[in-house]
Structure 1
């Protein structure tokens, strides 16, 4: 049942509720028998839809409309951007991590390939030597 049919059904129900006291007895009996016939022809609803409808039905009977919008397609539509976002963040983390490792490897290679011994880099006077050497140039 689409939204247009639901709106029509609610308008008919509202009109009947307003004029219930003014209806002749024969009309009320015919309506009651028509309702019984319609209820016998109605297909049984699956249990998971009934439970979901009970949980979602509230003021204004918006439950039917909300239930149709929360189908599996809607759930996939919500989960897809979330999963893509998570994949992008993981990819960015991996890329940045590889860049950092490459920079550290480059520094290590430069230190090991240099003529100075490794102990010179940890010497406190080495920074002073580099600073004085830069001032002279």
Structure 2
């Protein structure tokens, strides 16, 4: 006699399940129609309330002739998986280029504003030390001597 702690092997469990299903099928044949209808309704209700079970399946992955890996499905999510990062990269590069252009335009505007406000003499554009003048600033002491030396030429 087996105890409850003993476990059935897979083969024994399959045999028990088949025998139980056969006995239940035979017994269901002799039931009155009203009971069969109620059992059928109860089964349908139980199946409708049952939670769906998640099944994990492995997709086969094949190497194509181009050397890339292909899972055999070309769904929208597969395409979106590589298009989205590419789009982010392109928009990022466009934003960086725009930012650099704006920075360059602002630098040119500062030089023009300094030239128009007489902080930078027009001859300073030809002077090799013009960049040093801009880095030091128009109001520093070295800027005044640089301006004097440029005007004396």
Query: Which protein is richer in helix relative to its size?
Result: 1
* Range class of TM-score, shorter chain: 0.3 to 0.5
Q: Normalising to structure 2: TM-score of the pair?
A: 0.37
Flag the structure with larger Rg: 2
